[in-house]
């Protein structure tokens, strides 16, 4: 913290903080319950107001999360958004029991790389997917027991084979489109798909029959609560999860970083460090 507003209490100049990028109003019924991710007047930092590709950014004090000692800013930057999104999906929107089979789509992505580690810490057997050899290798290194090639259209068959046709208890999904539909093909009875994104398509056709016959659930997850960021950073400081940082760019090379993101060959996170 470089500077404090006159009405701010509880924070000091020099405090090391992470920022919740989904700004919340702090007064609506959801905010009052600590469910800022569904705030009625939520705002996105960097979308509806100036964001973090800068040396300094002004944010409401309610968006701050104290960084635990032992964590550096690069690790915090890599985990505060993507890692806490996975934490919200796995510990708030759904539950993982020890021994559960959890399928993490796109294990080399920001959300996926954190989800593998969190599910593993919660005692799950983790299966993941990756479209390239390098991405699949990373998913293995992060703790996945099996990693399936998602560029093979029959990947759900591979998942069913791994689980002896039983299917998985939980799918961490953030791709959308046809991928989401196929996730139902590898879901066990009483299984849950939790989804936080749909870059591959927002509209799908779903067969509702297996959803009620197999008592399955499709659960939405949006962003995170401050509590999820706190938990993510504490887990990282305790060594339970590690950030996956592909490359750190200076502010002047922000465009280069975006070009690399679009090339889809990034492992984990790209950081901008002004
Ligand atoms: Zn609110």
Average pLDDT, the chain: 96
Cβ(154)–Cβ(135) below 8 Å: no
CA 40 to ligand 1 center in whole angstroms: 5
CA 24 to ligand 1 center in whole angstroms: 5
The reply to whether 74 and 37 lie within a common domain is yes
CA 157 to ligand 1 center in whole angstroms: 43
253 in a domain, yes or no?
Answer: no
The reply to whether 39 and 103 lie within a common domain is no
The reply to whether 131 and 182 lie within a common domain is yes
| The pLDDT of residue 52 | 84
270 in a domain, yes or no?
Answer: no
The reply to whether 201 and 231 lie within a common domain is no
With b for 16 or more beta-carbon neighbours within 10 A and e for fewer, the 218-229 pattern comes to beebbbbbbbbb
Any alpha helices (H) in the chain, and if so which ranges? 29-32, 73-80, 82-87, 110-121, 133-141, 155-162, 177-183, 208-213, 226-237, 254-262
The reply to whether 100 and 157 lie within a common domain is yes
The reply to whether 211 and 99 lie within a common domain is yes
Q: What is the CATH number of the domain that holds 46?
A: 3.90.180.10
The mean per-residue pLDDT over the stretch 146-167 comes to 97
CA 51 to ligand 1 center in whole angstroms: 20
| The pLDDT of residue 69 | 94
| The pLDDT of residue 264 | 87
The reply to whether 99 and 137 lie within a common domain is yes
Distance CA 9, CA 93 (A): 31
Distance CA 113, CA 143 (A): 9
The reply to whether 61 and 159 lie within a common domain is no
CA 258 to ligand 1 center in whole angstroms: 31
CA 28 to ligand 1 center in whole angstroms: 4
The reply to whether 179 and 209 lie within a common domain is yes
The mean per-residue pLDDT over the stretch 59-87 comes to 95
176 in a domain, yes or no?
Answer: yes
72 in a domain, yes or no?
Answer: yes
Distance CA 7, CA 35 (A): 24
11 in a domain, yes or no?
Answer: no
How does DSSP assign 107-171, residue by residue?
A: TTSHHHHHHHHHHHHTT-EEEEEESSHHHHHHHHHTT-SEEEETTSTTHHHHHHHHTTT--EEEE
The reply to whether 68 and 118 lie within a common domain is no
The mean per-residue pLDDT over the stretch 101-105 comes to 98
CA 81 to ligand 1 center in whole angstroms: 19
Residue 146 forms beta bridges with which residues? 127
145 in a domain, yes or no?
Answer: yes
CA 76 to ligand 1 center in whole angstroms: 24
268 in a domain, yes or no?
Answer: no
The mean per-residue pLDDT over the stretch 125-139 comes to 97
The mean per-residue pLDDT over the stretch 11-31 comes to 95
CA 109 to ligand 1 center in whole angstroms: 29
The reply to whether 77 and 120 lie within a common domain is no
5 in a domain, yes or no?
Answer: no
CA 49 to ligand 1 center in whole angstroms: 17
CA 221 to ligand 1 center in whole angstroms: 16
CA 175 to ligand 1 center in whole angstroms: 27
Q: What is the CATH number of the domain that holds 138?
A: 3.40.50.720
Tell me the per-residue pLDDT of 248-269, one tens digit each, with 9 for 90 and over: 999 999 999 999 999 988 999 9
Cβ count within 10 A of residue 190: 11
CA 35 to ligand 1 center in whole angstroms: 8
The reply to whether 215 and 231 lie within a common domain is no
Structural domain count of the chain:
2
CA 7 to ligand 1 center in whole angstroms: 19
CA 63 to ligand 1 center in whole angstroms: 12
Write down the ipTM of this complex. 1.00
Write out the residue range of the structural domain in which residue 134 sits.
94-220
């Amino acid at each position: 913290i470089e500077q404090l507003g006159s009405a701010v209490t509880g924070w000091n100049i020099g405090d090391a903080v992470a920022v919740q990028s989904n700004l919340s109003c702090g007064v609506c019924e959801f905010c009052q319950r600590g469910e800022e991710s569904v705030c009625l007047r939520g705002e996105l930092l960097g979308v509806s107001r100036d964001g973090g590709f800068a040396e300094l950014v002004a944010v409401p004090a309610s968006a701050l999360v104290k960084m635990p000692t032992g964590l550096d800013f690069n690790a915090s930057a890599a985990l505060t958004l993507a890692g806490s999104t996975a934490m919200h999906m796995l510990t708030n929107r759904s539950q993982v029991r020890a021994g559960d089979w959890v399928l993490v789509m796109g294990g080399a992505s920001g959300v996926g790389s954190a989800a593998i580690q969190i599910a593993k810490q919660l005692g799950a057997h983790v299966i993941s997917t990756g479209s390239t050899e390098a991405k699949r290798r990373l998913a293995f290194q992060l703790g996945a027991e099996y990693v399936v090639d998602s560029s093979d259209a029959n990947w759900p068959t591979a998942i069913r084979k791994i689980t002896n046709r039983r299917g998985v208890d939980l799918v961490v999904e953030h791709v959308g489109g046809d991928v989401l539909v196929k996730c139902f093909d590898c879901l066990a009875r009483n299984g849950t798909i939790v989804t936080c994104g749909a870059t591959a398509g927002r509209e799908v056709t779903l067969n509702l029959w297996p959803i009620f016959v197999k008592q399955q659930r499709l659960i939405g997850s949006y962003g995170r609560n401050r509590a999820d960021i706190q938990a993510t950073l504490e887990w990282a400081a305790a060594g339970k999860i590690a950030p996956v940082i592909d490359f750190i760019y200076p502010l002047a090379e922000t465009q280069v970083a975006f070009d690399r993101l679009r090339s889809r060959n990034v492992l984990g996170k790209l950081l901008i460090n002004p």
